[in-house]
Amino acid sequence: MAVYLLRRGGEGVIVLALVSVLVFALIGLMPGDPIDLLISADPDITSEDAARLRALYGLDRPLYERYLAWLGDALRGDLGFSRLYSQRVTAILWAPLQNTVILMSLSLVLGLLVAIPLALVAARRPHGPVDVTVNLLAFAGFSVPAFWLALLLILLFAVTLGWLPAGGVHAVGDPSLESRLRHLVLPVLTLTVLNAGVYLRFTRGALLEVLNEDFMRTARAKGLGLGQALLRHALPNAMLPLTTVVALHVGTLLSGALVVEVVFAYRGMGKLTYDAILANDFNLAMAALLLATGLTLTCNILADAVYSWLDPRVRYDD
């Protein structure tokens, strides 16, 4: 197991390195290098000045040399300077990361809390009226565009009813827990709907599959009620594949979080990435993207570990 995790970790590092090369190359293709922006900000700069500045910052060197320089600094813990926030990148990342983790974990847990009971109710009578309704709900949940749902919720709860704030992490000058929670409601609600749709569809499918197993018939034959049989025998077996789906879904969840964070002006990793890309803040975009990738890869590896812990039949020491 330890060997397996070590190998997966090693692979993760390789993937991270590949992604960093890819992103670095793509960033080089984004419009406007820092000097272009400097020129547009100050028309007095001559082309000689621009060339001199480019040489000073090494922007005239080939891409791979610049990448290696960036990598060397990054490995020493220096991710460079953010132009957007005029701060070291390492000093910016922490708060948004926390905000995103809060948003994601809340909506993940709530999504499961909505999906599992609904799936259990639906599985009592497959293709019955309840099941069809639940299935429709699941369809709606994963088909709804996140940003539209977010706008509708803002329209209802912030504009029309005025119950909840339309955006932000907390009210200006009021970082109290209450204010934070009030600002979390709508973003968490949006993401929960999306998650619940995916989890519901999957849990229902997994339950229906387990229903035909021999051990289910045995459980019913020994006199266990349908509800108890579903809860005690079907659900634990359906939970196994669900862990994998939930973990593999973390990448998608991060994507969804990005959209929701942008609409609600919620300062998390997604909004940070988006702002950095729009503002051509290369160092920050690079760091934020790698952090998101690293987070996803870690969750995937953890999922494998949890899977083998939950199901002793699965062993990784091949």
Partner 1 sequence: MTTEPLARPAARPPVKPSAILIGSGGVLLALTLLCFTAPWIAWLLGVDGTRVDIFNRLAPPGADHWLGTDELGRDYLIRVLEGGRVSLAVGLIGAVAAALIGTAIGLIGAYAGGRVDALAMRLTDLVIALPILPLLLIVAAIDPARLGLPTGGLADVGRIVVIVALFGWPTVARVARSAALSVRRRTYVLAAEALGARAHHVLWRHVLPNVAGPILVAATLGIGNVVLVESVLSFLGLGVQPPTPSWGNLLSDAQTLLVQAPLLAIVPGLMIFVTVIAFNALGDGLQAHLDRRRAVR
Q: Give the binding range for partner 1 (CB under 8 A) out of 21-29, 44-52, 71-79, 181-189.
A: 21-29
The residue type found at 196 is A
Asked if residue 3 binds partner 1 (CB under 8 A), the reply is no
Q: Give me the phi and psi of 96, to 5 degrees please.
A: -60, -35
Query: How many residues in the shown chain lie near partner 1 by CB under 8 A?
Result: 47
Task: Decide: 262 and 303 in contact? Cβ < 8 Å.
Answer: no
**Residues in 241-280 at the binding interface with partner 1, rule: CB under 8 A:** 248, 250-252, 254-256, 258-259, 262-263, 270, 273-274, 277-278
Q: Which of 5, 19, 45, 71 binds partner 1 (CB under 8 A)?
A: 19
Min dist CB 74 to partner 1, Å, is 17
Interface residues for partner 1 in 30-49 (CB under 8 A)?
30-31
The rounded distance, in Å, linking the Cα atoms of 241 and 117 is: 17
Identify the DSSP state of 124: H
The window from 74-82, 222-230, 294-302, 306-314 that contacts partner 1 (CB under 8 A) reads 294-302
Q: Given its phi and psi angles, is residue 162 left (phi above 0), alpha (psi -120 to 50 degrees) or beta?
A: left
DSSP string spanning 48-93?
Answer: HHHHHHHHHTTTTS-HHHHHHHHHHHHHTT---EETTTTEEHHHHS
Q: Closer CB to partner 1, residue 115 or residue 288?
A: 288
Q: What is the DSSP string of 286-308?
A: HHHHHHHHHHHHHHHHHHHHHHH
State in angstroms the smallest separation of the CB of 280 from partner 1: 8
Of the pair 220, 307, the CB lying nearest partner 1 is at 307
Q: 3-class SS at 314?
A: coil
**Residue 94 and residue 196 in contact, taking contact as beta carbons nearer than 8 Å:** no
Q: Which is nearer to partner 1, 189 or 297 (CB)?
A: 297
Nearer to partner 1, 110 or 158 (CB): 158
Angstrom distance (rounded) from CA 309 to CA 2: 12
CA distance 120 to 131: 10
Q: How far is the CB of 269 from partner 1 (least distance, A)?
A: 8
Fill in the per-residue mask, 130 to 159: x = in contact with partner 1 (CB under 8 A), - = not in contact.
Answer: ---------xx-xxxxxxx--xx-xx---x
CA–CA distance, 271 with 278 (Å, rounded to integer): 10
C-beta of 34: minimal distance to partner 1 in Å?
Answer: 15
Footprint of partner 1 (CB under 8 A): 15, 19, 23, 26-27, 29-31, 139-140, 142-148, 151-152, 154-155, 159, 248, 250-252, 254-256, 258-259, 262-263, 270, 273-274, 277-278, 285, 288-289, 292-293, 295-297, 300
